[in-house]
Structure 1
Amino acid sequence: MIAYIEGKLTHKDPTYIIVDVQGVGYQIRISLHTYSQVKDLERTKVHTFLHIKEDAHTLFGFAELLEKEMFLHLTSISGIGPGTALVMLSSLNPKEVRDAIVSEDVKVIQAVKGIGLKTAQRVILELKDKMKKDYLLSSSDSKQNFSIPHNSIRSEALTALITLGFTKSIAEKNIDLILKNSSNPLTLEDLIKQALKMS
């Protein structure tokens, strides 16, 4: 098992990064939460989980060990695979996921793309007690508002949403609606988060 990877960040994208470790580039799938913490770094250490299937070995990475633990909790639930868990951790930060589970807020969990009512109820039922015992998760949301040209941010957000499972037409519709109705400059993370909540 690869517990973590530390090295030079050679590529950063809202859905994956490439970390160079002594000349070997590891492609690692990440959440929007992790992206917001590594996007301005040249080097990073990410906690990893290697998901093995017959046709693919996929590395998932997390800036915080606590986010990795939440990912593992979520993927232990029947009906939630690594992709869905990553979408959930892109829509909500680990603290928001924990709070929704502890407060038994089915609507918040069900609002995540790919999560139906029964799955949301199962998440709460199976993880509620574990989450109540765990008060260590803390949000490290440091929001920065950079004024990025809409066409650049739109293109990157569109690519990220398609990677997360949206069809191109729905992703474009959601992004354009958000940009049209937004009076303030949006960060890439904010745009993707808002689009995920519209799913």
Structure 2
Amino acid sequence: MIAQIQGKLIEKLPTEVVIDCNGVGYQVNISLHTYSLIQDSEYIKLYTHLQIKEDAHTLFGFFEKSEREIFKMLISVNGIGAGIARTMLSSIEPKRIIEAIGSGDVATIQRIKGIGVKTAQRVIIDLRDKVLKLYDIDEVSVSQNNTKRDEALSALEVLGFNKKLAEKALEKIVFEQPDANVETYIKQALKILS
């Protein structure tokens, strides 16, 4: 197994890089998260995961070791291949994926292209305990955003807004401002819904 690759950066695209290691150019698939972290330096080091299939050997690279570990967890879920896992890491910051899994936030995971409700639920069911244990996340702190969102949703329903529309507005706000308070969620939602 190739655990890491270090060498001269020959080519950098949003989905892949080519790294020269002593005259051999390795094509390494990357996420947008890794792409954003790679500086335009001459030499780089990526942590890698080699996927061997009957028809191809594909190398996936990650700037951070933690992103590689999340990738490996995601591909362990039935129905999540390397392509979808890379899309997930490109769509949402790895830390946010961990928070969504830990808090059982199906909506955040489902927002990723190619992920349906059942797949999002399977990701949470399969990985939640592992994530809570591995990342030592306190379930109370993780579910705090859901609690704030639920409080804001209740307030909006009391004000007479449609539950589905309010949920949609709140999902967007929580995604953009995960650390905001309930009052901010309500005010922002009112701007969207009015």
TM-score (norm 2): 0.68
Corresponding position of 2:6: 6
Q: How does 1:84-163 map to 2 (within 5 A)?
A: 84-135=84-135
- The CA deviation at 1:43 is 1.0
Tell me how far apart the structure 1 counterparts of residues 46 and 100 of structure 2 sit (CA, whole Å): 25
Corresponding position of 2:154: none
Corresponding position of 1:28: 28
CA contact (8 A) 1:12 1:39 kept: no
Opposite residue 80 of structure 1, the aligned amino acid is I
Tell me how far apart the structure 2 counterparts of residues 136 and 40 of structure 1 sit (CA, whole Å): 34
Deviation digits for residues 30-69 of structure 1, max 9, x if unmatched? 0001001114222111011111111111100000111000
- The CA deviation at 1:135 is 2.9
Q: Which one has the bigger helix percentage? A: 2
SS at match of 1:8: strand
Structure with more relative contact order (C-alpha pairs < 8 Å, separation 6 or more): 1
SS at match of 1:41: coil
Structure 2: unaligned runs, 5 residues or longer: 138-194
SS at match of 2:11: strand
Tell me how far apart the structure 1 counterparts of residues 53 and 106 of structure 2 sit (CA, whole Å): 30
SS at match of 1:115: coil
Q: How does 1:33-48 map to 2 (within 5 A)?
A: 33-48=33-48
| Structure 2 residue 86 is the aligned partner of structure 1 residue 80 | no
> Computing the radius of gyration over CA atoms, which structure comes out larger, 1 or 2?
2
SS at match of 1:124: helix
Sequence identity (%):
58
**Across the two proteins, how many residue pairs are aligned to each other?**
137
Tell me how far apart the structure 2 counterparts of residues 9 and 98 of structure 1 sit (CA, whole Å): 30
CA contact (8 A) 1:102 1:131 kept: yes
Opposite residue 75 of structure 2, the aligned amino acid is T
Tell me how far apart the structure 2 counterparts of residues 50 and 118 of structure 1 sit (CA, whole Å): 28
Corresponding position of 1:67: 67
Write out the 4+ residue segments of structure 1 that deviate beyond 3 Å after TM superposition.
none
Deviation digits for residues 68-91 of structure 1, max 9, x if unmatched? 000000000000000000000000
Opposite residue 129 of structure 1, the aligned amino acid is D
Tell me how far apart the structure 2 counterparts of residues 66 and 136 of structure 1 sit (CA, whole Å): 14
- The CA deviation at 1:136 is 7.4
Opposite residue 118 of structure 1, the aligned amino acid is K
Tell me how far apart the structure 2 counterparts of residues 15 and 112 of structure 1 sit (CA, whole Å): 17
CA contact (8 A) 1:45 1:63 kept: yes
Deviation digits for residues 5-46 of structure 1, max 9, x if unmatched? 000100001100000001100000000010011142221110
Opposite residue 69 of structure 1, the aligned amino acid is E
